[in-house]
Amino acid sequence: MPDHDSDYKQLFSHPRMVQELLRDWVPGPWTDADFSTLEHVNGSYVSETQKQRHDDRGWRLRMKDRWLWIYLILEFQSESDPWMALRMLVYVGLLAQDLSKRKEDLSEGKLPPILPLVLYNGRPV
C-alpha cells in the first residue's frame, strides 16, 4: 500500500504548492498576501499536561500588516473522522498557546489569525 501521507507531506513541504492550494481552493483575499514571506514553521506542540501533538504542516504568511498562521492537516483514511473538528480545535489551541507563551506575533496583545485547513482524500460523506 502506498504511503499517501508521506507523499502529500512531501508535496506540501514546498511553498509553491501551499501558495497554489490557497489561491486555487481556499476563498479569501489572497491578493493581499505576500507569498514571498510564506515560511514553514514548527508543527510540534506540547500541551500543559506534557502530551505531545504533531501537525502535518505549519506555515505562516504575511497578509498586509500581520502574519496569518496556516495549519495544514493531511488526512488519508477510508472513512471520515467525526471528531476532526475537535482535533483541529485542539491543534489550533496548542498553536495559539505556544504563540502566547513565546509572545510571538502578538499585535496589540492579540493572537494572529489562524487558518486551519484539512485535506481529506476519502469517500464523500
Please tell me the predicted confidence (pLDDT) of residue 16.
Answer: 92
Distance CA 107, CA 66 (A): 8
pLDDT above 90 covers what percent of the chain? 6
What is residue 7's predicted lDDT score, i.e. its pLDDT? 75
* pLDDT at res. 120: 75
Position 125 in a domain? no
What domain range is 26 assigned to? 4-120
**Is residue 84 over pLDDT 50?**
yes
Q: How many domains does the chain have?
A: 1
In a domain, residue 102? The reply is: yes
Could you tell me the pLDDT band of residue 36, with boundaries at 50, 70 and 90?
Answer: very high
pLDDT number for residue 1: 43
CATH code at position 38? 3.40.1350
DSSP string, 16-79: HHHHHHHHHHS-S-GGGEEEEEEEEE--EEE-TT--EEE-SEEEEEEETTEEEEEEEEEE--SS
